[in-house]
């Protein structure tokens, strides 16, 4: 297995890049502490303090929470025996700590994850991301991501911040993504995203029948009560978000009207199409986070696919566009609604 790991000094992007990358949670790379045992004799000055407090002072390279977990799991011994977090230390005890890797310590290592490559040259890589694949490691998904797969299949990406990733798709949204294979290419792609010159078109199936076409210009920010969700907001913290849509076809899922849309992103906020369509009264089929929970049986994920991507090549400066067919499950869904993918 390839063992390339992204250097820590390559993992930091500018504020603009972070915004365009659409990765909202803070991510950090933990220092490699190794897993060699640590032994120390407690000084008499700590007499009367509990074990976890003592260790947080004597081995500050580890967080107190991590030390507490190791104590509970039996990876810390006091005079050769396991102990409790609140055990009072008297001074002179021999402490042995067996450091354990946390899940996030392995976040940026290569993994043999299948990738569907639509286009590749020396500067860029265009991938058709399947539904169910998380783009970037984060809380709850420290492995098995697109980034891990990129590092396995293209080890040289270890020298590029975020393995060249410049934007993302939600876990259960499929479709086209571009990756910069060099720092220069990645920087140019970020600049194009900032300038809103990257063309992104999505196929979306929504409940209801919106107007034949329209533009939703509604700023967005993190939901005030549910941190897993985004929301339309007039807060000063909200960021501009603009979605253009065009109605392509209408149909029925049982007795419920549905509509196939082509959605064009002018900006790229987290969950943008899902939030904009839901806030307009037309949630995506299958979207249980923003849509109709009781209709989840019709589709196991949000019916959304990034099917068209256009940009200016960062080296040749030629305008290039890629278009992919709909996923088989999306086609079957349209068929059940009495539609055809030929509408796209």
Listed residue (228, 164, 200, 183) closest to 24, CA to CA:
228
CB-based contacts of 233, cutoff 8 Å, min separation 6: 219, 220, 221, 224
φ, ψ (nearest 5 deg) of residue 297? -65, -20
Name every residue whose Cβ is closer than 8 Å to that of residue 130 and which is 6 or more positions away in sequence: 116, 174, 327
- CA angle in degrees (0–180, nearest 5) for 320-323-325: 165
Q: Kindly name the residue from 21, 52, 170, 172 that is annotated as catalytic.
A: 170
Q: Is 122 among the residues known to form the active site?
A: no
Is the CB of residue 94 less than 8 Å from the CB of residue 79? yes
For the chain, the first-to-last Cα distance in angstroms comes to 41
- Altogether, the residues listed in the chain come to a count of 344
Catalogue the active-site residues.
170
């Amino acid at each position: 297995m390839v063992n390339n790991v992204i250097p820590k000094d390559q993992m930091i992007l500018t504020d603009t890049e972070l915004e365009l990358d659409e990765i909202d949670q803070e991510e950090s790379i933990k220092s490699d502490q190794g897993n060699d045992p640590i032994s120390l004799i407690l000084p008499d000055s700590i007499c009367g303090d509990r074990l976890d407090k003592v260790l947080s002072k004597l081995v500050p390279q580890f967080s107190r929470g991590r030390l507490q977990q190791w104590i509970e799991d039996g990876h810390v011994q006091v005079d050769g025996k396991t102990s409790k977090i609140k055990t009072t230390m008297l001074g002179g005890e021999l402490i042995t700590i067996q450091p354990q890797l946390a899940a996030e310590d392995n976040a940026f290592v290569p993994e043999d994850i299948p990738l569907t490559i639509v286009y590749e040259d020396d500067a860029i890589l265009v991938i058709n991301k399947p539904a169910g694949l998380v783009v970037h490691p984060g809380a709850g998904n420290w492995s098995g991501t697109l980034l891990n797969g990129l590092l396995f299949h293209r080890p040289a990406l270890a020298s590029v911040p975020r393995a060249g990733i410049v934007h993302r798709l939600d876990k259960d949204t499929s479709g086209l993504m571009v990756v910069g294979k060099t720092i220069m290419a990645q920087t140019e792609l970020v600049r194009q995203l900032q300038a809103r010159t990257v063309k992104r078109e999505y196929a979306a199936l929504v409940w209801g029948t919106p107007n034949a076409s329209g533009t939703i210009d509604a700023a967005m920010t993190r939901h005030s009560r549910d941190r897993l969700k985004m929301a339309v907001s007039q807060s000063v913290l909200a960021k501009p978000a603009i979605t253009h849509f065009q109605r392509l076809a209408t149909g029925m899922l049982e007795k419920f009207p549905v509509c196939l849309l082509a959605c064009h992103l002018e900006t790229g906020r987290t969950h943008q199409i899902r939030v904009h369509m839901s806030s307009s009264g037309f949630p995506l089929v299958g979207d249980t986070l923003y849509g109709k929970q009781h209709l989840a049986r019709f589709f196991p994920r949000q019916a959304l696919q990034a099917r068209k991507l256009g940009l200016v090549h960062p080296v040749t400066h030629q305008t290039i566009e890629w278009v992919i067919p709909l996923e088989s499950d999306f086609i079957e869904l349209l068929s059940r609604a009495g539609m055809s993918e030929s509408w796209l």
